[in-house]
Structure 1
């Protein structure tokens, strides 16, 4: 599938929220206000994928961090990327249901990984549910055990990919 990757635009917010809500439980999903703040605060690390018809089919987003692992504060408050932060986090990776299992998520991870390398990050860090650990391992992430995150009352796992 040929995809075009580009930074997220405020005008895409309704489509982003629709995809977010299809991929996460109501407790896990970011609010419209939180997504708007993320687009405004770190557009260089909020990447969207569009199909040949220019339809938004997925996105990935996260801020730079001085911490190796995601903390719950990152979900609540979006601050601009620190150019000197050694780690890059991923708060959300979601794909439209009609485009899942077609390489969109992997493509987004790879495309964003190239951006992070250009920014001289040391590693990419994210948290995921147990059911997604093997997916991220297939994309070069290492399971570093349970996360301290209590986001949405779930048990999360720290996944890190060295760059």
Structure 2
């Protein structure tokens, strides 16, 4: 298993994993992922097993502490240091779930965030996934101010 920064060549596999893990309303589009690769490749990590992408984590480093809906449509550029590491998406190929790949991706993002002196890592999650994030050291800060995909999202934060 190898965790590396994304390249544009990874896009087809990323989109495949995104479609398997999220509803059409929740999922990022090809245009959004192209924008993310172009703007924030330094905070866009992929897991490869036998050169195949099996997991991703991506998000910008911003002055905002929480994910805000506008960020999905207009990817902010990363702050060079400081601020908060936002996670838009963490997704694992269903064939590879249950092998701690998601936790390893969160650990890799935490290491990167600490190196860049971020204050926290923040994401939104559906209720069914909250226990995974709690197990990985995040704190549930309550219902997010989001209407993304017309669902109820929770703010989860890991203070660094």
Number of the residue aligned with 1:4 = 2
Residue of structure 1 equivalent to 2:37: 39
Q: CA deviation at 1:142?
A: 0.1
**Quick one: distance in 2 between partners of 1:84 and 1:101?**
33
2:121 aligned with 1:124, yes or no?
A: yes
- The yes-or-no answer on 1:71 pairing with 2:61 is no
Q: Does the CA-based 8 Å contact 2:5-2:45 persist in structure 1? A: yes
Inter-partner Cα distance in structure 2 for 1:123 and 1:82 = 13
What residue is the counterpart of 1:99 in the other structure? Answer: 96
Match of 1:54 among 51, 55, 76: 51
Equivalent residue, structure 2, for 1:157: 154
Mean alpha-carbon deviation: is it higher for 84-93 or for 152-161? 84-93
Query: Within 2, Cα distance between the matches of 1:16 and 1:111?
Result: 18
Q: How far off its partner does 1:112 sit? A: 1.1
Q: Size of the alignment, in residue pairs?
A: 160
1:79 positional shift: 2.7
1:43-72 deviation per Cα after TM superposition (whole angstroms, max 9, x unaligned): 010000011x11111000000111111100
Once the two structures are TM-superposed, the CA of residue 87 in structure 1 deviates from its matched residue by 0.6
CA contact (8 A) 2:137 2:158 kept: yes
Instruction: Find the aligned partners of 1:73 and 1:18 in 2 and give their Cα distance.
Output: 24
For structure 2, list consecutive stretches of 5 or more residues without a partner in the other structure. none
Match status 1:86 vs 2:107:
no
**Aligned equivalents of 1:63, 1:94: Cα separation in 2:** 16
